[in-house]
Amino acid sequence: MIQKKIDDKIFYKIMASIALPIALQNLISSSLNAVDTVMIGKLGAVEIAAVGLANQFFFVFVLILFGINSGVSIFTAQYWGKKDIDNIQRVLGLALMLGIGFSLTFFLAAFLFPQWILKIFTEDQTVIHLGSSYLRIVSVSYIFTAISFSYSFAMRSTGNAKLTMVVSAISLLANTLLNYILIFGAGAIPAMGIKGAAIATLISRTLETLLIVSYVYSYYDVLAVRSLRIFKISSSFFKQVMNTTTPVILNEAFWALGMSMYSISYARISTEAVASVQIALTIQGIFIVIGMGLGNASAVMIGNVIGANEEERAINYAKRFSILGTATGAIIGLIMMVAAPLVLNFFNVSDAVSHNAINILRVFALFMAFKFYNIILVIGILRGGGDTRFSLFLELSSVWLYGVPMVFIGAHLWKLPIYQVVALVSCEEIIKSVVGFGRVASKKWVKRVIEYN
């Protein structure tokens, strides 16, 4: 009994030290994104749609970065369990090379061909014109985003999540202040509208990268690499890491493409439908920050104990996080259901857009317990445990075999209202939960990806 109390105390102490900073970081990010959406919304629903669709391209890029860094962080967490600093730095070097490589590709596409990218999502020429001007400017920030992602994930996996929270707070507060000044104008600075929002985003992402790298090389020796040797990756090490990481990258890339297919379908309904979904997603982002904190904490903690050769503890952690995540999701869903109409009062949009956004939020609320469980399942248990191939199968099958067909059937064949289309698609959360629960119960997800001496 005494030992159980000690184990519980250790579990919750470690969980809080990782989950709370990440949750706060995501809360700051989501809240300020909501403020940005409110600011852009004062320009009109067309502007919200333009920025939302332009950010779909960035969304795909970010999820690929998330895949790269989630994948390599499996190794970072397990190497940290062994306190193997040399290999932690080698993994960081690989993450930087992959991230910067992808960022250059996405930058060139967005900078040179923004109109072509926007035409994938919509035929509204005004939306294409406004979105293209926004996309071309923010594309310059992609390389900085890749660098900050690599360092942030490495710091989380080595137990230093607080710094990334502080840096995000500073950069995102700067983004909000700059948004206000550059979108609407102040003093001698003219109002720039959407272009002002893009410039503010570019400056804040650059600031975030400079702050993180400066801190690492001043105070955090674990990641302060002072030799180019980390970029000299042997073929065997590369193969070892990529065997586990590639499924995660594919997972995020194809999941992002699936979400983009949803956006394409919504845009074909109407520009107002896109605006409603964009507002609802922005608000949902605020409500799921606790889930993301728990998901990332479970990935780090499960990876650490597997790296320390404590597989039974990893299984115990998975059970605890699953129960905690599902219960928390149910509570958050109830709060979101009640708060939906109150939150929409902050947005200066038409009654039709507001009505649809409220209904979409209530749909999200109904599925919140499943969503929280799936965050724990995919990001925490399966990836933290090294079971990335099953995670890939689970995500792709639920999105591409169910979600994508249903969004087009609901929107274009059955011609349902936008909130009913969202409800139809959201059922994929239930499918994913049921299949994933079976995998967790089998214990086949526990896989040590590093050698243990």
* 242-257 pLDDT tens trace: 888 899 889 888 888 8
Q: What is the mean pLDDT of residues 413-436?
A: 95
Average pLDDT of the residues of the chain:
88
Cβ atoms of 73 and 153 within 8 Å: the answer is: yes
CA gap 259, 263 in Å, rounded: 6
Q: What is the mean pLDDT of residues 142-170?
A: 87
What does residue 311 show for φ and ψ, rounded to 5 degrees?
A: -65, -40
What does residue 147 show for φ and ψ, rounded to 5 degrees?
A: -65, -45
pLDDT of residue 2: 46
Q: How many CA atoms lie within 13 A of 428 on its CB side?
A: 22
CA gap 372, 335 in Å, rounded: 14
Model confidence at 329, pLDDT cuts 50, 70, 90, reads very high
Token pair for 237: 């090490």
What does residue 189 show for φ and ψ, rounded to 5 degrees?
A: -85, 120
CA gap 322, 325 in Å, rounded: 5
- Report whether pLDDT(107) > 90: yes
- The DSSP output letter for 450 is S
| Alpha-carbon distances, residue 158 vs 81, 150, 222, 373, 383 (angstroms) | 9, 13, 8, 24, 16
112 vs 56, higher pLDDT: 112
Q: How many CA atoms lie within 13 A of 259 on its CB side?
A: 20
pLDDT tens figures, 195-232: 998 999 899 889 999 999 999 998 888 888 776 776 77
pLDDT tens figures, 62-85: 888 988 998 898 888 888 888 888
- The DSSP output letter for 263 is H
Residue 240, amino acid = Q
Q: How many CA atoms lie within 13 A of 331 on its CB side?
A: 8
| Alpha-carbon distances, residue 20 vs 16, 75, 148, 326 (angstroms) | 5, 23, 20, 17
- Report whether pLDDT(194) > 50: yes
| pLDDT > 70: percent of the chain | 94
- The DSSP output letter for 347 is S
186 vs 390, higher pLDDT: 390
pLDDT of residue 16: 86
- Report whether pLDDT(31) > 70: no
Domain regions of the chain by residue span: 2-442
Residue-wise over 234-265: b if at least 16 C-beta within 10 A, else e? Answer: eeeeeeebbebbbbbbbbbbbbbebbbbbbbb
DSSP string over 50-114: HHHHHHHHHHHHHHHHHHHHHHHHHHHHHHHHHT-HHHHHHHHHHHHHHHHHHHHHHHHHHHH-H
3-class SS of residue 232? coil
Residue 393, amino acid = F
